[in-house]
């Protein structure tokens, strides 16, 4: 099972960063490849079990389900239900940790999934760089 791990330091308090990223429907505000998003069935965006449907700027369509959200741990966990990437059993967690030296944030984004062995390296790099790191870079620019 491939694992993606990406981390970064954001020059802003963890509470400020969390107020933006905890919105499960807010990807277009901070993940550059995402053009639009909506929560299905009118459910609240912070309700475990809700499903977000979103479109990428390149036309791709994804559906993800919120599996866990913790304001205490500053973390959210979600799974992919539908994606053009060709992954299965995809589960990811985004976690923020306050850095008390300078009132900054340590951000970690991890994912595990199944895929054909010949696509493993490509998908790990694509998810890590074009999704996770791109999101972190956008957060750094926003809070910089």
CA distance 13 to 2: 31
Q: Tens digits of per-residue pLDDT, 31-58?
A: 888 999 999 999 999 999 999 999 999 9
Contact call for residues 74 and 88 (beta carbons, < 8 A): no
Contact call for residues 22 and 76 (beta carbons, < 8 A): yes
pLDDT score of 142: 94
What three-state secondary structure class fits 7?
strand
**Per-residue confidence band for 3, with pLDDT thresholds at 50, 70 and 90:** very high
CA distance 116 to 125: 15
Q: Tens digits of per-residue pLDDT, 51-66?
A: 999 999 999 999 999 9
**Which one has a higher pLDDT value, 70 or 85?**
70
pTM (predicted TM-score): 0.94
Query: Given a cut of 90, is residue 90 above it in pLDDT?
Result: yes
Give the chain's length: 144
DSSP, residue by residue, 20-47: HHT-TT-GGGT-TTEEEEEEGGG--TTS
pLDDT score of 33: 86
CA distance 90 to 111: 7
Rounded mean pLDDT of the chain? 96
Query: Given a cut of 90, is residue 119 above it in pLDDT?
Result: yes
Beta strands 61-70 and 34-39, pairing class: unpaired
- CATH numbers and ranges of domains, the chain: 3-143 (3.30.530.20)
pLDDT score of 106: 98
């Amino acid at each position: 099972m491939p694992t993606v791990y990406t981390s970064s330091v954001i020059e802003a308090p963890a509470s400020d960063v969390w107020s933006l990223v905890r919105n499960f429907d807010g990807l277009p505000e901070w993940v550059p490849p995402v053009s639009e998003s909506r929560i299905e069935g009118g459910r609240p965006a912070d309700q475990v079990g809700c499903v977000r449907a979103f479109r990428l700027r390149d036309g791709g369509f994804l559906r993800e389900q919120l599996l866990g959200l913790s304001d205490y741990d500053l973390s959210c966990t979600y799974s992919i239900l539908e994606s053009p990437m060709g992954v299965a059993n995809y589960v990811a967690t985004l976690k923020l940790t306050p850095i008390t030296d300078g009132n900054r944030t340590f951000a970690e984004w991890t994912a595990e999934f199944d895929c054909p062995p010949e696509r493993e390296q490509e998908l790990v790099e694509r998810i890590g760089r074009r999704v996770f790191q791109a999101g972190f870079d956008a957060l750094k620019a926003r809070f910089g």
